[in-house]
């Protein structure tokens, strides 16, 4: 099984990088895990809605260039569906049972995801209505993916 996380931008804080590396190591017993960073689009603080769309579209093109047709894609979006950790684990288990061995998770840039990325997604996933820094969201997502594998292997980790 392959799990890929496609993200916009680079991580600046070493402690986020260290946490992600730890989850990569833990996940290695369950899957081939990769984190793919695409360049964020430089933009001034105040943008018109047309400029915002352009930024999201350019970042969206970079994201979609990293996604193949065979991948099952989860887009992280505030308006997505919220799941419990157990329901998320069950979904991953079901997907792999029914032939989806390539799962991709997408975290957009600070402006969100382009409509083209949301259209490509097979599932929009929300971690709630809180706004989290994108770098922290990477750590949270990696932990939840790891938690899903631990739930599916009946490990007491998730309790």
At 81-127, the pLDDT tens digits run: 999 999 999 999 999 999 999 999 999 998 999 999 999 999 999 99
Q: Which of 59, 67, 70, 85 is nearest to 140 (CA)?
A: 85
Give the pLDDT of residue 159. Answer: 64
Mean of pLDDT values over 12-39 = 97
CB 27 within 8 A of CB 145: yes
Q: Is 76 annotated as a binding residue?
A: yes
> Is 108 annotated in some ligand binding site?
yes
CATH code that applies to domain 2-158: 3.40.1280.10
* pLDDT for the residue 10: 94
Burial class (CB within 10 angstroms; exposed 0-12, middle 13-18, buried 19+) of 128: exposed
> Quick check: 158 pLDDT over 70?
no
Question: What's the CA gap between 153 and 151, in Å, rounded?
Answer: 5
Angstrom distance (rounded) from CA 106 to CA 88: 16
Q: Please tell me the predicted confidence (pLDDT) of residue 76.
A: 97
Q: Which sequence spans correspond to the domains of the chain?
A: 2-158
Question: pLDDT for 35-47, tens place per residue?
Answer: 999 999 988 788 8
């Amino acid at each position: 099984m392959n799990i890929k996380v496609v993200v916009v931008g680079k991580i600046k804080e070493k402690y986020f990088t260290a946490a992600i590396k730890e989850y990569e190591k833990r996940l290695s017993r369950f899957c081939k895990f990769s984190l793919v960073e695409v360049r964020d689009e430089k933009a001034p603080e105040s943008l018109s809605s047309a400029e915002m769309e352009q930024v999201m579209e350019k970042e969206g093109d970079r994201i979609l260039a990293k996604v193949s047709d065979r991948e099952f894609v989860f887009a992280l979006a505030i308006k997505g569906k919220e799941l419990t950790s157990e329901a998320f684990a069950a979904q991953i288990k079901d997907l792999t049972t029914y032939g989806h061995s390539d799962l991709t998770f997408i975290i957009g840039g600070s402006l969100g995801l382009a409509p083209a990325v949301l259209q490509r997604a097979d599932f929009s996933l929300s971690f709630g209505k809180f706004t989290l820094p994108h770098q922290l969201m990477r750590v949270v997502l990696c932990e939840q993916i790891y938690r899903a594998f631990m739930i599916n292997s009946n490990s007491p980790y998730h309790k």
